[in-house]
Amino acid sequence: MDLKRNSLGLGNRPALLLVDMINGFTSSRCPLGTDCPDVVEANRRLLERFRALGLPVVFTTVVYHHEDEARVFRERIGHLNLLTPDSEWVQVDPRLAPLQGEPVIEKQWASSFHRTSLHEWLQQQGVDSLVVTGLTTSGCVRATVVDGLQYDYRVVVPEEAVGDRNAEAHQANLFDMHAKYADVMPLAEVETLLPEPQIA
């Protein structure tokens, strides 16, 4: 039986957090990735909206500088060793290229918050809620959503803006995140939570 929970939506100053929308995950040329043009397009739509509103945007990537970083994680998933600083795989997908002032935060583990400066940056921007997108639903997105809640952010996940190599894992994790940690909803519904851009 489902837990009773309240839909919280977004606060007064949401940020868009694009989790690992990097070449290594958005291209099937990399063993870690899968072609996901629909997910990229949903992220592009949200980027355009947040930029038009002047709201904070932040990206994450996964980069390993030396062999001691996330040692056990990399032992488990050997292809993570492809994510070196000089690799094309750690670069944000050019279809979603960050603008000046939009940070790309390096991480080594699943959560975008774990041993990174993300929470501090969000606090500096006055952020009180998050729209979390990216790859993959069952991995880094889920870990980031759980930690977002644990840092007391309201979290919203647009269904079309996250993806996974495994369709069943994708659906199961959307269900579980919505049950406990976030409001999971269609992209169009997320857009209604955002103010309309002002026309100059």
**Sign of the torsion formed by the C-alpha atoms of 101, 148, 32 and 138:** negative
- CB half-sphere exposure, 119, CA atoms < 13 A: 14
Residues forming the active site: 140
Nearest one of 194, 190, 113, 192 to 159, comparing CA atoms:
190
Report, in angstroms and rounded to the nearest whole number, the Rg of the chain calculated over CA atoms.
16
How many whole angstroms separate alpha carbon 32 and alpha carbon 187?
25
User: What are φ and ψ of residue 163, in 5° steps?
Assistant: -155, 170
Locate the DSSP E strands across the chain.
14-19, 57-62, 104-107, 129-135, 154-158, 162-163, 183-185
